[in-house]
Chains A and B, each alone.
Chain A
Amino acid sequence: MIRALLLTVALASAACRAAPPSPGQRSGPTVAGLEGAALYARYCTSCHGAQGGGDGVNAPNLDPRPRLHRDPAWSRSRSDSALAAAIRDGRGRAMPRFGRTLKPHEIADLVAGLREIAEKGNRP
């Protein structure tokens, strides 16, 4: 009985020690990335393509052609703020500005989604 109690106590304290939340084991898209992907599908894919291949349905009509997003090297060479600025203020004449349509937090989500799409470029 007492041994059982002692054992319980010992185990419980050990469990307490072990219990504090283990390091995050999240893998796959972040929540920001998921929301960004939804925004990407809505606003970007018609030109930049469903998989970010720069081959959307409207791409052939554009000069310059839409940027290829599924390219990790390109993504890593651009800072978050540079990407956010391009979405917010537009780029060149072809890319419209979205700063008055999307809220800053949505643009941040979109950048997160863009990063995840870019990294897929590594996979076949």
Chain B
Amino acid sequence: MASAEETTRTDSAPAHDDRERRALGWMDRLLALSSLGLCALFAYTVLAEVSPEWGPLQREYGRLLAVDPSGKGARAPRGIQQIHVQPLELVDRCTSCHLGADKPRVASTGTRAVLAPHPGSMLELHPPERFGCSSCHDGQGRATSREKAHGREANWAEPLLLGRFVQASCAQCHARASAPRAPDLRVGIATMRRRNCAGCHVVPDLDEDRRFGPDLGRIAEKTSRDWVFAWLKRPAAQLAGARMPDFGLSDREAASLVAFLFSVPPPPRPPAAPVAGKGAEAGRALFSESRCITCHAVQGKGGTLAPELARVGSKLARPWLEGWLRDPKAHDPATIMPRFRLSEEQIGSIADYLGEEFEDEDAERWQRAAASALARDREASAGDGRKLALHYNCAGCHSIADLRPAKIGPEHTELGLKPVARIDFGAKASLPRTRLAYLREKLRDPRGFSKGLRMPRFDLSEEARESVLVTLLSFKDRRYPASVRAAGERRPWHGRPPPGPVGELVRELSCLECHALDGRGGTLAPDLSLEGSQVERPWLARYLAQPTTLRPSLTERMLQLRLRADEVGLLVEYLVAARRADGVKSARELFGAAGAPDPESALHGRRIFHERLSCPSCHATPHGARGYLGPDLSAVGSRLQPGWIYHQLLDPVRARPGSIEPRLGVSPADARALAAYLATLRAPPASAPTETSP
């Protein structure tokens, strides 16, 4: 009985104890684990504090310095390094890890890029103590861990810029169109200007008020419905290098737009009788003489300022072409094409040539396709077309009836800072959530994100697209003080004609599309700001009346505009009187009272030119020099003033910024002798210049 009781007790007691012990053990373990966890967390916190990411790097750099023969006992920095740039309100701790960035190379850093000096010579132009690191590279300058410093955090607005994208920062201080060492920025903004992004978006640096597409008021006189239909469907298929993007229009939409465009009554114009030319051969000669290919390309060869002409014969209606050649700006006030002073017969000959020799071999195909589509969509109405024209903002690029341009796209002003959280990735869920990935895809497939998007497809080459992306990321303004900004570079392509009648002429001839005045205008042809101190007046008059080629290696040549004598006189008067340089000697100041070089000094100069210096490599003279990179100097004495020759020889880079002529270190005495020699190289008297007076 008792034993039975005992048994029962001993039976039940261990079970109870076990349960208790098990419960205790569980609690114990939980406690032990959590305290272990806490210890670990604590240890980690302490460790993280005493051994930051830059610790091992600084020790490694120290070891490298110790064994570096050129180190001369230099010591590696210890602790957090920082660069504080007061004017930019910048604190950058990048050099805590990038230890060698601003120092000479330490031998055997080998492939350790993080310890290597900053590549290239950028730091000599932008010393870190003035510009820091993050002013160019972005990222989070104050952070002291790798990921954070490189800005790879959600919601950090400016992740590290890598590779070509560093150029995006140049625009904080430099004008995009002329930023030195930023080719992507220059190409990108030029591409955006050419494709007229500012037609729909507010784009910094593209704030000029100019329409880029043709005036469509006379489209019905200019070409056929078939051509407009085919063009609207796929511009790039009708014209190589078309600037107009692809709007992805259905046949019905394109037919509606055609109906609308052809329903707009063209503005009245003076009646002109059809002109008879002297045939395509005469036209070809005029085409080449007038140097049309300076701006237009023919089958890919020629300029890029104006449209390719290869297939224009199957596009243009003859009466329109005659009117256009007679006076382009009367047809379209915004065109850059100047009015060539052509006779009616010459106009006819050029029209003969363009009509006969520039036929589109593909014309039959697109004409047939367009005609059948237009016949199918008979119900397409001008009203629908007008709605579409408004929807797609055709007036952003073209002038059409009473349509007004509108900035229907988002502003680009702060695009480089647009928060990723505010970007709608829509259907493109698999894209990395970065601003760059979004913009790249937007340019590639603008309407793929969601339904109802309007942006057309621009068919940019991959290279051009990357350049545009660099430029898009540059759209932000940190408002750096003027002291660090590069001065005097704003909007160089927007020329400003002088006041008065000469300005009217300059505007009408579109001189500043190629030439610049005071650093504003085109870059295709020489800057004319100091022309009056550079050239001899008779030469200038002769050149404007009958342009010749100065540089044999150039393809772009001065247009033969067939200016009237009074027009030449006006331009000469202006350039000679108003466009002078300071400190250029007159011939008398240079050569003494006679104002002419003495033969002895000219002979001395000839020897210097041909025997001592490398001038003959680039220039041609009658005395054996054959280079044709620079201007031919065979008759330079008739063209350039001796004072200017002297001035330019002393310092060609200062005299003509942008010229590639190197400074040879010519002494003033030698420059005088050279100027004397070159002044004796004159055009033969047979073709001696005769000035055309107004």
Kindly state whether residue B34 has any CB partner on chain A within 8 Å.
Answer: yes
**Chain A residues near B97 (CB, 8 Å)?**
21
Tell whether, in the assembled complex, residue A97 and residue B41 are in contact, meaning their CB atoms are under 8 Å apart: no
Q: Does A124 contact B (CB under 8 A)?
A: no
Contact for B121 among A58, A61, A62, A108, CB less than 8 A: A108
- Interface of chain B residues 595 through 634 with chain A (CB within 8 A): 611, 613-614, 616-618, 626-629
Which parts of A32-80 form the interface with B (CB within 8 Å)?
Answer: 32, 34-35, 38, 42-43, 46-47, 57-58, 61-62
Residues of A within 8 A of B694 (CB): none
Question: What separation, in Å, do the CA atoms of A26 and B665 have in the docked complex?
Answer: 40
Pairwise interchain contact B617-A34, C-beta atoms closer than 8 A: no
Find chain A residues with CB under 8 A from B111 CB.
Answer: 23-24
Known: A21-B113, A38-B183. A47 touches B120 (CB 8 A): no
B629 touches A95 (CB 8 A): no
B57 and A31 within 8 A (CB) = no
Q: Does B44 contact A (CB under 8 A)?
A: yes
Per the bound structure, the CA–CA distance linking A116 and B119 in Å amounts to 15
Docked pose: A13 CA to B43 CA in angstroms: 11
Known: A32-B119, A61-B628. A42 touches B34 (CB 8 A): no
B667 at the interface (CB under 8 A from A): no
Within 8 A of A (CB), among B117-165: 119-122, 124, 146
Given known A20-B57, A96-B617, contact A57–B629 (CB-CB < 8 A): yes
Bound CA span A25–B111, Å:
8
Contact among B41, B183, B616, B629 with A46 in the assembled complex (CB-CB below 8 Å): B629
Give how many A residues have a beta carbon under 8 Å from the other chain's beta carbons.
42
Contact yes or no, A32 B121, CB < 8 A: yes
A89 and B110 alpha carbons, distance in the complex (Å): 32
How distant is the Cα of A109 from the Cα of B613 in the complex, in angstroms?
25
- Is B330 interfacial (CB 8 A cutoff)? no
Please report the number of residue pairs spanning A and B whose Cβ atoms sit closer than 8 angstroms: 114
Is the beta-carbon distance between B57 and A97 smaller than 8 angstroms?
Answer: no
Using Cβ atoms and an 8 Å threshold, which residues of chain B touch A32?
A: 119-121
Contact with A along B338-357 (1 / 0, CB 8 A): 00000000000000000000
Contact A95 B57 (CB under 8 A): no
Residue in A12, A38, A42, A105 with the greatest tally of chain B CB atoms within 10 Å: A105
Residues in B with CB closer than 8 Å to A34 are: 120
B 26-62 contacts with A by CB, 8 A: 33-34, 36-37, 40-41, 44, 47-48, 53, 56-57
A6→B628 contact, CB < 8 A: no
For A19, list chain B residues within 8 Å (CB). 53, 146
A98 and B41 in contact (CB under 8 A), knowing A21-B146, A106-B121? no
Contact A43-B660, Cβ < 8 Å, known A23-B111, A35-B181: yes
Q: In the complex, are the beta carbons of B121 and A26 less than 8 A apart?
A: no
Q: Is the CB of A96 within 8 A of B614?
A: yes
Give residues of chain B (408-449) contacting chain A, Cβ–Cβ below 8 Å.
none
Asked if residues B181 and A38 are in contact (CB atoms below 8 Å), the reply is: yes
Given A20-B56, A23-B112, CB of A58 within 8 Å of CB of B37: no
Q: Chain B's nearest CB lies how many Å from the CB of A81? A: 15
**Is the beta-carbon distance between B113 and A13 smaller than 8 angstroms?**
no
Is B664 in the interface zone, CB < 8 Å from A? yes
Q: Judge whether A100 is part of the interface by a CB distance below 8 angstroms.
A: yes
A95 to B113, CA, bound (A): 36
Taking CB atoms, residues of chain B closer than 8 Å to A5 are 37, 40-41
Question: What separation, in Å, do the CA atoms of A25 and B162 have in the docked complex?
Answer: 13
Q: How far is the CA of A23 from the CA of B628 in the complex (A)?
A: 49
Q: Which residues from 67 to 119 on chain A have a C-beta closer than 8 Å to any C-beta of chain B?
A: 90, 93-98, 100-101, 103, 105-106, 108-109
Taking the closest CB of chain B, its distance from the CB of A93, in whole angstroms, is 6
Does B119 contact A31, Cβ atoms closer than 8 Å?
A: yes
Asked if residues A61 and B664 are in contact (CB atoms below 8 Å), the reply is: no
Min Cβ gap B158→A in Å is: 20
A26–B162 Cα distance when bound, in Å, is 11
Residue of A nearest to B146 (CB): A19
Size category of the B interface is 35 or more
Is the beta-carbon distance between A96 and B181 smaller than 8 angstroms?
Answer: no
Chain B, Cβ-Cβ closest to A37: B183
**Smallest CB-CB separation from B109: which chain A residue?**
A24
Nearest residue (CB) in B for A100 is: B663
Within 8 A of A (CB), among B90-123: 97, 110-114, 116, 119-122
Contact B113 A23 (CB under 8 A): yes
Over the window 634-673 of chain B, the binary record of Cβ atoms lying under 8 Å from chain A Cβ atoms (1 yes, 0 no) is: 0000000000000000000100000010111100000000
B121 contacts A35, C-beta separation under 8 Å? yes
| B112 contacts A24, C-beta separation under 8 Å | yes
Judging by beta carbons under 8 Å apart, are A9 and B40 in contact? yes
Residue in A9, A20, A25, A43 whose Cβ sees the most chain B Cβ within 10 Å = A20
Verify B553–A46 contact, CB threshold 8 A. Answer: yes
B120 and A2 contacting across the interface, CB-CB below 8 Å: no
Q: Cβ of A23: which chain B residues have Cβ within 8 Å of it?
A: 110-113
Shortest beta-carbon distance from A76 to chain B in Å: 20
> Which residues of the partner chain B approach A101 to less than 8 Å between Cβ atoms?
653, 662-663
Chain B residues with CB below 8 A from A103, complex form: 121, 124
Query: Does A95 contact B119, Cβ atoms closer than 8 Å?
Result: no
Find out whether the CB atom of B662 lies under 8 angstroms from the CB atom of A105: no
B120 x A109 contact (CB < 8 A): yes
A57 to B629, CA, bound (A): 8
A21 to B113, CA, bound (A): 9
Closest to B610 in A: A93
- Kindly list chain B residues whose C-beta atoms are within 8 Å of the C-beta of A109: 120-121
Chain A residues in 8 Å Cβ range of B48: 16
Inside 8 A of B36's CB, which chain A residues have their CB?
2, 6
A100 in contact with B662 given A32-B120, A47-B629, A57-B553 (CB within 8 Å): yes
* A62 CB to nearest B CB, Å: 6
* B122 A90 Cβ-Cβ under 8 A: no
A58 touches B665 (CB 8 A): no
Residues of A in contact with B (beta carbons under 8 Å apart): 2, 5-6, 9, 12-13, 16, 19-21, 23-26, 30-32, 34-35, 38, 42-43, 46-47, 57-58, 61-62, 90, 93-98, 100-101, 103, 105-106, 108-109
19 extra A-B contacts, CB within 8 A, seeds A24-B111, A24-B113, A98-B662: A2-B36, A5-B37, A5-B41, A6-B36, A9-B37, A16-B48, A21-B57, A21-B114, A61-B626, A62-B617, A93-B611, A94-B614, A96-B614, A97-B614, A100-B665, A101-B663, A103-B121, A106-B121, A108-B121
Q: Which B residues contact A (CB, under 8 angstroms)?
A: 33-34, 36-37, 40-41, 44, 47-48, 53, 56-57, 97, 110-114, 116, 119-122, 124, 146, 181, 183, 553, 611, 613-614, 616-618, 626-629, 653, 660, 662-665
Complex A-B: 29 CB contacts under 8 Å? A2-B36, A12-B44, A16-B53, A20-B56, A21-B113, A21-B114, A21-B146, A24-B111, A31-B119, A31-B122, A32-B120, A35-B121, A35-B181, A47-B617, A47-B629, A57-B628, A58-B553, A58-B627, A61-B627, A62-B617, A93-B616, A96-B664, A97-B614, A97-B665, A98-B662, A100-B662, A101-B653, A105-B121, A105-B124
For the complex of A and B, the 5 pairs showing the least CB-CB separation, nearest first, are A24-B113, A105-B121, A31-B120, A100-B663, A96-B614
